[in-house]
Every structure is written in structure tokens, then in C-alpha cells.
Amino acid sequence: MVKIGNAQFWVHDQDEALAFYTKKLGWEVRSDVTMEAWSFRWLCVGPPGGDGVGLVLMPVPGPPLLDADSSGQLSDLVAKGAGGTLFLETDDCQATYDELSARGISFNDPPTRQAYGIDTSFRDPSGNNIRLTQVLEFDPARS
């Protein structure tokens, strides 16, 4: 059997990302290991109490892993929202929206009814897109 262990976002600043995912989103740190010799920090977070898929907050690398131009381009692409999307699921979109709004998360749109459920979205400080969906029985009439 194969399962997804961790997924990964590029981030501009790991401290800033860590504060966002733990303090605002309320997630737990799954792993935080710094390899001084590599100037590298392995940082993985996830929803509390879960042993499910974790999210690795990976710093945009510079030389020698990526040349300076490519590193700058990758950094820009993430800032432009081209870094990708994390699709989260909740059992109550409105309740989660209210709770996270109170914690300082700024949503792009209010919970909206869709054929597949109810969802909303926000971004992390680097620009990565996070979708929050309450999955409901498929109903084209709901959208």
C-alpha cells in the first residue's frame, strides 16, 4: 500500500511561515530539525492530533542547489501565487472560517456553496493558496 506522507510548499521565510501555520492556523510542529552545516532546516507542520499528511515548509533554495537567478524566479513565482494549492477539508466550513478569522486569518472569500460542498480560501504569507472545503454529497443545484 502506498500513501502520501508529506506534501511541500516553498516558503520565503520559515520563521514567518511557522508562526502562521502554528499561531494563526493552530497547527502543530511535526518536525523541526536544523542542519547547521547545510544551512538547512527541515520543518514540517500539520493539523493537531493528526498523523495524516504533513506539510513541509521548505525554504526557497539558493546556490548551489539552485543558481541565484532560478532561486529568484522561484521566489517570485511563489509570491505570484503560482506555488500551488493545498486542499484542506473540514466538517464545518463556516465554523472553521469563523474560528480562523478570529485568529487573524484573512480569507479571500466567504464560505461559498458549490456543487461539491461549501468552501473558502486563503493564502499563507508566501502566497501559497489554501482551499478549505466542507465536502457534501454532490448536488449541482447547490452551486
Partner 1 sequence: MGGVGNVPAARHLLRAKDLADARYFERLTVADLAAAAGLSPAHFSRRFKAAFGESPHQYLLTRRLERAAALLRDTDWTVADICFAVGAESVGSFTVSFRRVFGAAPLAYRAAYPPAEQHLRIPRCVAMAYGRPKNRTFREDRPGPPS
96, three cell numbers: 472553521
Task: Give the x/- contact pattern for partner 1 in 33-72, rule: CB under 8 A.
Answer: ------xxx-----------------xx-----------x
Residue type, 8: Q
What order of strands is seen across the sheet that includes strand 85-89? 85-89, 129-135, 117-123, 107-114
Question: How far apart are the C-alpha atoms of 93 and 12, rounded to whole Å?
Answer: 28
Contact region with partner 1 (CB under 8 A), list: 22-30, 49-57, 91-99, 130-138: 130-138
Length of the chain: 143
H/E element holding 13? none
DSSP letter for each residue of 15-27: HHHHHIIIIIS-P
Phi, psi at residue 104, to the nearest 5°? 105, 10
Site for partner 1 in 18-37 (CB under 8 A): none
Of 55, 100, 105, 126, the one binding partner 1 by CB under 8 A: 126
Contact region with partner 1 (CB under 8 A), list: 23-31, 47-55, 76-84, 97-105: 76-84
Contact region with partner 1 (CB under 8 A), list: 23-31, 50-58, 95-103, 123-131: 123-131
> Which residues have CB under 8 Å from 8's CB, separation 6+?
55, 56, 57, 58
Of 30, 58, 101, 131, the one binding partner 1 by CB under 8 A: 131
Q: What are the residues binding partner 1 (CB under 8 A)? A: 12-14, 16, 39-41, 59-60, 72, 75-76, 78-81, 85, 87, 108-109, 112, 114-116, 119, 121, 123, 125-127, 129, 131, 133, 138, 140, 143
